[in-house]
Structure 1
Amino acid sequence: MSYLDDFLVRAALAGIGVALAAGPLGCFVVWRRMAYIGDATAHAAILGVALALALSISVSAGIMVVCLLMATAVSGMSGRGLSGDALLGVMAHGTLAFGLVGVSFLQGNRIDLNSYLFGDILAVSPTDLGVIWGGVLIILGLLWWRWSALLTSTMSEDLAFAAGINPRREQFVLTVALALVVAVAIKVVGALLIAALLIIPAATARSLARSPETMAVLAALIGAASALGGLGAAFAFDTPTGPTIVSLAAVFFTVSAMTRLVWGVRGT
């Protein structure tokens, strides 16, 4: 019997994989203040699920296409006389609503909507695991390839132009990576919690790191610890796995923030 036959092993590997991709990518989401974009892209995933099931194509492919279109549209339309927050709100909630309505029309399909909204990491199959890790490797490859350019354009667009870097191109790279991480993470934490897994580990690592690279590594480790710890806690206390993972990540953030506050008070 293969070790992948154990659903807990598959769940652990899926959680670790998503954390390794979401941690470094979440750092750029935090640095660039892209939290709302990440949230809007995640909400669009439900529309991708509905379209994929209606067209009888891969759910991951449907999510990827819709999320990529969503992130590209938001990136392209922002700054053109439209309020960024209002635009993100309309598109995030609009695509989520259209997705939920679309799913309701799929009478011939038995759909566990909660698994897409809140994740169902315990139901990850070997095929799902292959898709997740394939996406993770692509995301890490993109970040490794474009790390210096992404970091420069994040610090200053003027500095990026002076270095011969096109900030719009780097924004598109982040858009592709963001869409891909949503597609692979939906099984783990669900569409409503993906943005939290991107932001919370990165925000926690920010107060602990002394360099961008250290922050990215710490964010990945914190995300992995949240995934494994949350998986164990959910199994022990019979709680929803996706929300438990995010809850543990929030606990790590709270402990980090309180520790920093205490040391700050002592230092004065």
Structure 2
Amino acid sequence: MRKIYVIGIGAGDPDHLTLQAAKAIGRTDVFFLLDKGEAKESMIELRRRMLKAYGKPGRRIAEGRDPDRDRSPADYEGTIADWRHRRSEVTEALISEHLLDGEIGAFLVWGDPSLYDSTIAILEEILARGRTRFEYEVVPGISSVSTLVAKHRIGLNRVGQPFQVTTGRRLAEQWPPGVDDVIVMLDAHQSFGTVEGDVDIYWGAYLGTPDELLISGPLAEVADEIRRVRAEARERHGWIMDTYLLRRRT
């Protein structure tokens, strides 16, 4: 039986790789990489550095092209479902062609595979089709959420209080009811601009990398600075990954 690891590799700092992840990398025969284009070549390069440091001699890399998708669709859920299906077909072809019987393959996933990542769902879709057989194991990683609050030296929750992790799209619709602390991910449109009231923001981009950016303070006072810094960074690098915590004052 073929086996696949889904390995969380952290938000960007090579030192965030766990011992469990390093050992899994060392056992892997084939690493699957989905190329997102030249704009994100630095993300691919970090993975290659990890393989050089922890991979075993003779390891192989199988690369495929990550399908494009509409980033501002009218039908968000339908668009995501279609993209995942197309991505699953690319992934299945890579597994079928490059992973031999008795071998171990791996996907290196940014942050933690359980948090806003599609790899687990895609592998389940492949198994449900029944054409390609394998077993898989998930190795947790340090998420951008954990990295964000560590860099700002704050707790993720306040004493006895809940928090919620959501997306920029959801935040633009409404502040999640019943919570005063909201972590926002996947926000391409700076949805914090829709938030009113006494709120502090803890923002970070390229977390754990040499290009890391951190801004915090009252939202009304630092929102424009975040927009400016974010726009300049995206122009400079060609891509940006950012996360932030919104905290209502109580």
| Shared fold per TM-score greater than 0.5 | no
TM category (shorter chain) comes to under 0.3
- Alignment TM-score, normalising by the size of structure 2: 0.25
Give the structure with the higher percent strand. Answer: 2
Give the structure with the higher percent helix. Answer: 1
- Alignment TM-score, normalising by the size of structure 1: 0.24
